[in-house]
Amino acid sequence: MDLIERLKDSVNTIDGLPVRCLLGYLKPEESFVVYPLPGSKVVRRYYDGIKDQVLNFEFAMKSKDQQKIHQTLWATQSFLEELEELSSKDGSFDFDGITVTNKPFITNLDDTGYYIFNLDVAIAVTSYK
């Protein structure tokens, strides 16, 4: 399923986004990423293998510039709250909706001066074999 790739690509269409979103975990330097979170679940399973699922993802940003973090994550959060369409390129899912489960919040300030903020979402999809 190409859901996380389409999510990343969609976020990267935000006008004026200070940092491009990448897949995976935070890098040692400034970065903005999205990755899956635990707790995703199948809501309904059909006999033909189709599943209705809710999948959890987290956006994280690491920077020494809190203003850049706020600008990036709040723009992302606003964009995602209005997202009505997300299309699979390989036909593996249909987008049913997205919920921002946690607005941007700080999780860490390391000893080198990097702040880390997160933003969590849950995405409802129908997935196909």
**Tens digit of each residue's pLDDT, the chain (129 residues):** 999 999 999 999 999 999 999 999 999 999 999 999 999 999 999 999 999 999 999 999 999 999 999 999 999 999 999 999 999 999 999 999 999 999 999 999 999 999 999 999 999 999 998
Q: Could you give the 3-state DSSP secondary structure of residue 115?
A: strand
Q: Show Cβ contacts of residue 113 under 8 Å, excluding neighbours closer than 6 positions.
A: 64
Which CATH number fits the domain that encloses residue 26?
3.30.2000.30
The pair phi, psi for residue 35, each rounded to 5°, is -150, 160
Query: C-alpha angle 84/90/96, rounded to 5°?
Result: 25
Q: How many domains does the chain have?
A: 1
Q: Which amino acid is at 7?
A: L
- Mind giving me the DSSP string for 41-77? EEEEE-TTS-EEEEEEEEEEEEES-HHHHHHHHHHHH
Q: b/e for 59-96, b at 16 or more Cβ within 10 A?
A: bbbbbebeebbbbbbebbbeebeebeebebeeeebebe
* Domain of 15, in residue numbers: 3-127
